[in-house]
A and B are shown apart, each in its own frame.
Chain A
Amino acid sequence: MTAAQAMSFHTGDVPTPDIVILTHHLTREYQMGAEVVHALRGVDIQIKKNEFVAVMGPSGSGKSTLMNLIGCLDTPTNGEYWLNSQKVSDLSDDELARIRNKEIGFVFQTFNLLPRADALHNVELPLIYAGIGAKDRRDRAARSLQQVGLGDRMDHRPNELSGGQRQRVAIARALVNQPSILLADEPTGNLDSATGSEIMALFHELHDTGQTIVLVTHEHDIAAHARRQIHLLDGKLERDERTEATT
């Protein structure tokens, strides 16, 4: 195990092109009535292309908050967030929507598929908002489903699929627009351990094809799949270490 060595970054700098994600003193506070909840208290992270990072930490330590910020679903209270050398932290709503669509593939613990749409249509959604024509869209969605091993389940609705299959559909959907990062917030949290292992194997395959992956998990054996582990504690970066691959 070695501590990951981050290059020092200062306000006013621009990150080097090999850095996909860079956060600088990233802060997120929630106002709860009169009280302020400090979910993130200044986090500095740099993630390079084709890294496989596990974010760990106890419940309430700010993992989901960090993922939502990286996924452009949320905006920081303070600090900077750079994605592919573009400063995201002060973009407009519509520009954020475009980045979520083009640059980010998000996989949720609860799958978040549209219940009334079949697998193919669910995977098509990001392409629809990208303005891609119907035929092209269907081809690409079908290819993405084949990639996750669901080529024969394209016309099934979510309630006709097992939990593992649903999560595969969600992964196919996250990948269909060829995002620069794949984010997953406890993707195996709602699955049994055998199905969870299958999903992790899929993440490995994706990593091997060059995909940059950031994954949140509670479980050490899942985190062990990743080559780098970031530990959060109480909204702060506690440890950032690299390990050799175990599988």
Chain B
Amino acid sequence: MLLGEIFQVALQAIRANKLRSFLTMLGIIIGVGAVITMVALGSGAQKAVQARLEALGPTLLSIYPGQSFRGGIAIDFGQRVSLTVDDADSLAAYARHVKAVVPELTRNQQIKRGGTNANVNIVGTTPNYPAVKNFTVTAGRMFTAGEDEGRRRLAVLGSAIPDMFNANPAGMIGQEIQIRGIPFEIIGVLSSKGSAAGFGNPDEQILIPLQTARYRIMGTDRLRTITVDAASVSQMTLTMIEIERVLRREHKIRPGGENDFQIRNQSDILATFQDTAKTFTYLLAGIATVSLIVGGIGIMNIMLVSVTERTREIGVRKALGATRFNILFQFLVEALVLCLAGGVIGILLGSFGAVALSRLAHWNTSINLLAIVVAFFFSALVGLFFGIWPARRAAALDPIVALRYE
């Protein structure tokens, strides 16, 4: 039997019951569409994280306070579990493989300008912050070491801040902004990192001198993090060992005692994120499998109805010389066409959903080609798997019984 005829018959049968065919496909459409959108969201987030890490440069290390609690809960023995400004100073003074040390004294604070309020991260830091963290100052300037020492009330804005007050960056230079009710002079605006909106966005922060933050705003010297720029990529491990040695001495940790800080390089952070991403992927695969099975059962159900409805047609075709295989193939193609059409519509809708999310909600999405290919083959597989049984039933019909069917 010619392939063209088989496809024609399948399409004809699908078209003859448009609404029913559509409802049947809906299961596959929703399953595939949801998966495509979610995978796009997942890979978008992954790309954003990767881009952010890459923008930092490969020689950067981050030091965080507290024990690493890999595989369990850290127990606080009442030890000092904090990083201080003194720790940062010691690193700068004693660690030889370190090129730059950037302490970050970060708290979320209310800011105010004119009648507008907002809550953003205020980062007390040193003048080398933009250079080490790969920002440029697009308008105005960064504060100097002298101004830091002098505890001056100066502010350098992240690129997203001017937007919050509906002002243009250059126009804000020299103006006043209140941080925790204390007036600061705006002296510069940073370049954009252009990554995801939301929690911890580096474009939505304000830099102020470290000493100003310590004595005038936060009243503490406990840092959220210290960023270290290692002298060379080839000596990262050595640098980490050196940092560990300096900090253990500073914190007076006895040999054999646990570190009360963590040093992480980029690949650690990436690995942590990828662990999360993997869990997310398994979850997605689970949802996809369930929805495709449900969709497939729908297809099988309708194919069984279709075989019953067309029993006489099957009888006629067999009487005219159709072989078992001809009939089997005809119904299999019908199921396959239903599934693939559902899959393609689902792919289109899912991609559309991903684009809409990034346009309207400004979420990072990245449409994953592999996900599309896998979704396509999975819908084909569902068609074959759930179509084979109804098709076999049709093929096994006895011609006379089928012809007599009322």
Contact = CB atoms under 8 A, between A and B. Distances in A.
Interface string A118-142: 0000000110111101100000000
B168 to A, nearest CB: 68
B320 A101 contact: yes
Nearest to B5: A128
Interface in A77-104: 93-94, 97-98, 100-102
B291 to A, nearest CB: 33
A150 to B, nearest CB: 18
A74 interface: yes
A25 B306 CA distance: 40
Interface stretch (B189-197, B310-318, B337-345): B310-318
Contacts of A129: 1, 317, 320-323, 326
Interface stretch (A2-10, A106-114, A220-228): A106-114
B1, B323, B400: residue with the most chain A Cβ atoms closer than 10 Å = B323
B48 interface: no
A173 interface: yes
Given A97-B324, A102-B321, A112-B403, 8 more contacts: A73-B403, A112-B312, A112-B315, A116-B16, A125-B320, A128-B1, A134-B2, A173-B320
B12 interface: yes
A31 to B, nearest CB: 14
A128 B6 CA distance: 10
A68 interface: yes
B93 interface: no
Given A68-B400, A74-B400, A126 B321 contact: yes
Contacts of A94: 323-325
Contacts of B400: 68, 73-74
Interface string B321-355: 11111100000000000000000000000000000
A134 B3 CA distance: 11
A1 B319 CA distance: 35
Interface in B224-252: none
Contacts, number: 64
A173 B317 CA distance: 12
B399 interface: yes
A71 B315 CA distance: 13
Nearest first, the 6 A-B pairs at minimum CB distance are A101-B321, A129-B321, A97-B323, A126-B320, A73-B399, A112-B316
B318 A97 contact: yes
Interface size range of chain A in the complex: 20 to 34
B318 to A, nearest CB: 7
B16 A98 contact: no
A155 B316 CA distance: 20
B330 to A, nearest CB: 11
B200 interface: no
Contacts of A71: 319
Contacts of A173: 320
B319 A73 contact: yes
A74, A97, A173, A177: residue with the most chain B Cβ atoms closer than 10 Å = A97
B2 A131 contact: yes
A183 to B, nearest CB: 10
A191 B276 CA distance: 75
14 contacts: A73-B399, A73-B400, A93-B323, A94-B325, A97-B318, A97-B321, A97-B323, A98-B323, A100-B321, A113-B316, A128-B1, A129-B322, A129-B323, A129-B326
Interface in B274-328: 312-313, 315-326
B72 interface: no
B237 to A, nearest CB: 71
A128 B313 CA distance: 15
B316, B317, B320: residue with the most chain A Cβ atoms closer than 10 Å = B320
B146 interface: no
A125 B6 CA distance: 12
A73 B317 CA distance: 12
Contacts of A98: 321, 323
B307 to A, nearest CB: 15
Nearest to A129: B321
Contacts of A73: 318-319, 399-400, 403
B335 to A, nearest CB: 19
Nearest to A110: B403
Interface in A11-65: none
Interface string B394-406: 0000011001000
B4, B5, B312: residue with the most chain A Cβ atoms closer than 10 Å = B5
Contacts of A131: 1-2
A116 B319 contact: no
A93 B403 CA distance: 17
Interface string A160-199: 0000000000000100010000000000000000000000
